Amino acid sequence: MEHPIQGLMQTAMSSIREMVDVNTIIGDPVETPDGTVILPVSRVGFGFAAGGSEFQVSGGQQGGGSGQAAAKEHPFGGGSGGGVSIVPIGFLIVNGNNVRLLSTDHPNQLYDRLIDLAPTVVDKIQALLRGSAGSKGKSQSAKEDDDEERGKPM
């Protein structure tokens, strides 16, 4: 015989199971036109409570019986409830071989982001400096070649 509280608990748990799945924590991917994939990440918490009571029927009878007879002998009162909390904590950004977590959860995220980007910025600045130094060298040698050709008798 199934106790009435079991039915309440099964109903509440199946409803929570339908609401919360892995796609709630790691959301559906969003692909941008440049090929970057963005996955939302959330923190999910849930709680569950159930309670009940059985009352003695007048006359002090308790125990035995099955089915409808047991329900009449043991009046039951109960309830259950549950709650779900979903809080976005960041975005997982996948671009080629780069994977980053852009957090929305921490107030110091700006400083963390600046520290994460520092090596990339330094590399880009170095590449620009190398590129501009190389192009200056090429333009200087081209200019010297032109000057030499002008000085030659034809």
The torsion defined by the Cα of 130, 136, 141 and 145, in degrees rounded to 10, comes to 150
**Mean predicted lDDT score pLDDT of the chain:** 74
Percent of the chain with pLDDT over 90: 3
Span 28-34, mean pLDDT?
Answer: 89
CA distance 85 to 46: 6
CA distance 127 to 90: 31
Compute the chain's Rg from CA coordinates: 35
Span 145-149, mean pLDDT?
Answer: 57
Give the pLDDT confidence score for residue 38 in this predicted structure.
92
Domain locations along the chain:
1-105, 106-154
- Residue-wise pLDDT for 67-96, tens only, equals 555 555 567 777 777 777 888 888 888 988
Span 124-146, mean pLDDT?
Answer: 70
